[in-house]
């Protein structure tokens, strides 16, 4: 039985879709059977980030409306991994085209055939959010170290906690150690102090992300990228929950510095 993980944030533009694409690709690289579901109906993006836009025939709304025989027909096979699939969102319908109950049914079906099902949640806390979390077992909350993003993440965590089943874990995205050092950005522990949930992983700011999104090549597959390395670490932690949060290589490198910063940060508490 696979696990259904919703990737959510509250605020838009903090990296939910990038995160879904990279975690899905990373787990596929480890040989897991993975499906990515784009629940952002009307504003689909995940297909572009995955570089699969031109292969779309059926989408999530078609499955719900019975326009394809089963969900299998809407599955788009990834270019790189035969064990990675995408169910795209509809571009033309809106969020009300799907109900939370229908999402639950789809998630249950997918669970039978995949190890990991990622639901890419739309921004906001309205109908689309309710749909995206309906069939999920757990939630990953993505935030950047900005006051507004953290505020929205806090709101979303509150909503998830009130349902008492999602065990939300945090991905802190676009951290800039240099800005933290200068006191211009929230630090890891500043964010942790407010949100107070388990940190699954920390992804440093990386200009390569924009390039990879535009090319449709998830950065987790790039062995030289620092963000890619961070995503690979998160992937390993998803697969093996006993693995501790590591903040990078033993010495040098951006992650090494990041780690020193975190340790100093904690010492300051």
Partner 1 sequence: MPAEQAQVSIKGTNEGLTVHFPDGPEFSELLESLRTKLQENESFFRGAEVVLELEERPLQEEEFQALEQLVSALNMGIKGISSNSPVTKMLGQSKNIRILSGSSIIHSPKLVAQRAGHTRRQWKAAPSPIRTSALEKGQEPALLMKRGLRAGQRIHFDGHVVVLGDVNPGAEIVATRSIIVLGALRGIAHAGATGSEDAAVIALNLQPTQLRISSHVGIAPDARTTRSRAHVPEIARIRDGGILIEAYSTKE
Return residues touching partner 1 (CB under 8 A).
147, 151-152, 154-155, 157-159, 161-164, 183-187, 190, 193-194, 196, 268
Smallest gap from Cβ 258 to partner 1, in A, equals: 17
Smallest gap from Cβ 167 to partner 1, in A, equals: 15
Smallest gap from Cβ 159 to partner 1, in A, equals: 8
Going by C-alpha positions, the residue among 138, 149, 144 that lies closest to residue 171 is 144
C-beta of residue 9 within 8 angstroms of C-beta of residue 142: yes
Q: Which is nearer to partner 1, 88 or 168 (CB)?
A: 168
Q: Which is nearer to partner 1, 34 or 186 (CB)?
A: 186
Residue 112: C-alpha distances to residues 1, 27, 41, 109, 116 (Å): 6, 17, 24, 6, 10
CA 129 vs. chain centroid, Å, equals 14
DSSP, residue by residue, 71-104? HHHH-EE-SS-TTEEEEPPPSSS-GGGS-HHHHH
Smallest gap from Cβ 197 to partner 1, in A, equals: 10
Q: Which is nearer to partner 1, 194 or 245 (CB)?
A: 194
Q: Which is nearer to partner 1, 149 or 220 (CB)?
A: 149
Residue 97: C-alpha distances to residues 42, 58, 93, 128, 238 (Å): 10, 14, 6, 10, 31
Going by C-alpha positions, the residue among 229, 222, 231, 235 that lies closest to residue 253 is 229
In the structure, how many helices (H) and strands (E) does the chain have? 12, 8
- Helix pair 226-239, 16-29: axis angle to 10 deg: 70
Smallest gap from Cβ 268 to partner 1, in A, equals: 8
Smallest gap from Cβ 247 to partner 1, in A, equals: 19
Smallest gap from Cβ 123 to partner 1, in A, equals: 15
Q: Which is nearer to partner 1, 195 or 258 (CB)?
A: 195
Q: Which is nearer to partner 1, 146 or 239 (CB)?
A: 146
Distance CA 187, CA 81 (A): 36
If DSSP codes are grouped into helix, strand and coil, which group holds residue 223? coil
C-beta of residue 90 within 8 angstroms of C-beta of residue 59: yes
């Amino acid at each position: 039985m696979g696990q259904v993980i919703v990737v959510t944030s509250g605020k838009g533009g903090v990296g939910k879709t990038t995160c879904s694409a990279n975690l899905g690709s990373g787990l596929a690289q480890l040989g897991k059977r993975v499906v990515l579901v784009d629940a952002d109906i009307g504003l689909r993006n995940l297909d572009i980030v995955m570089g699969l836009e031109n292969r779309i025939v059926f989408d999530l709304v078609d499955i719900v409306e019975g326009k394809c025989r089963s969900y299998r027909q809407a599955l788009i096979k990834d270019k790189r991994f035969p064990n990675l699939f995408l169910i795209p969102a509809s571009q033309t319908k809106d969020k009300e085209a799907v109900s939370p109950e229908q999402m639950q049914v789809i998630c249950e079906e997918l669970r039978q055939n995949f190890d990991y099902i990622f639901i890419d949640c739309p921004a906001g806390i309205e109908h689309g959010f309710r749909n995206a979390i309906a069939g999920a077992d757990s939630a990953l909350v993505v935030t950047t170290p900005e006051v507004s993003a953290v505020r929205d993440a806090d709101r979303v965590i509150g909503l998830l906690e009130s349902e008492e089943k999602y065990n939300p874990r945090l991905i802190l995205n676009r951290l800039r150690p240099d800005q933290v050092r200068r006191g211009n950005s929230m630090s890891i522990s500043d964010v942790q102090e407010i949100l107070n949930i388990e940190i699954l992983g920390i992804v440093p700011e990386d200009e390569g992300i924009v390039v990879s999104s535009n090319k449709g090549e998830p950065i987790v597959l790039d062995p030289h990228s620092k963000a890619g390395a961070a995503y690979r670490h998160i992937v390993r932690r998803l697969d093996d929950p006993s693995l501790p949060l590591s903040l990078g290589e033993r010495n040098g490198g951006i992650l090494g510095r990041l780690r020193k910063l975190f340790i100093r940060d904690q010492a300051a508490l």
